Amino acid sequence: MEHAIPNFSSPVLLFLFIVSPFLAALCVYQLRSLPLQSFIVSVTTTAMAIGVLLMSSRVPLGLSLLPVWGIDPHAAIRVADFILLGLIFYFGSRFRHPVIKILSVLQIVLLAFLNFFIKGKPPVDTLYGDNLSLMVIMVASIATALSTMRLSFIPSLRALEDNADLKQSSRHRFFALLLVCIGALNGTVLSNDMSFFYFFFELITLGSFLLMAQKGTPAAEKKAVRTLSLTSLAGLIFLISMA
């Protein structure tokens, strides 16, 4: 892949499409008002969609991540990979699912092998945005914004509050996890580094699992665990392809 010439839009690529959804998720998690939650999600996703339109004429966009406060972002991502796999193993143990535990352990072993014995040179551009990646971000942003706006007028999530299996509202957690998944999706399509791609992929794996299991019913947890096992298998296959 050719090296993109950095411009003023490159830092926006990082903040608007990746950092802002996670910051919005933190804000939403602290709120208990449905209108405010919907507003923050809608504004965040709408801003991303507008950002795609403004930067579509500037592609390709590339950004190389430099150390921050002496911390190498590539090393930090490698550590975060192991943390996410540890969390997946925890949920596999919690729900007594041996397949998830085995898959997570295999990924930990293979990831350690890749990090310590097969060290490739990081690409010039850690993040890289082209027309295809921006189109994916546009579609995901518009779909999320429209779906969230509907909740302000058709509050289907109130059914969660009335469910006898829930002791308290889970709307704030729902919107926060939704934003985390959006940010991870954006990071996945913008990653030009395999270690970053794998990190965001695992983040989507964990976020989608928590999103599906949040209702707390046996049926929801069963579906969530099944999804986690399939995505864990996909993660293992991805690591094998890198070896």
Task: Say how far apart CA 82 and CA 96 lie, in whole Å.
Answer: 21
The pLDDT score that the predictor gives to residue 162 is 46
> 194-213 and 73-94 are packed helices; what angle lies between their axes, rounded to 10 degrees?
30
State phi, psi for 68 to the nearest 5 degrees. -120, 120
The pLDDT score that the predictor gives to residue 227 is 92
The pLDDT score that the predictor gives to residue 151 is 60
The pLDDT score that the predictor gives to residue 171 is 78
195: CB partners within 8 A, 6+ apart: 74, 77, 78, 81
Domains of the chain, residue spans: 1-64+124-192, 73-123+193-243
Query: What's the pTM value of the predicted model, to 2 decimals?
Result: 0.85
Please give the average pLDDT of every successive group of 10 residues along the chain, which has 243 residues.
49 82 92 82 89 82 77 87 95 92 95 80 76 89 78 52 50 88 92 90 93 84 92 93 79
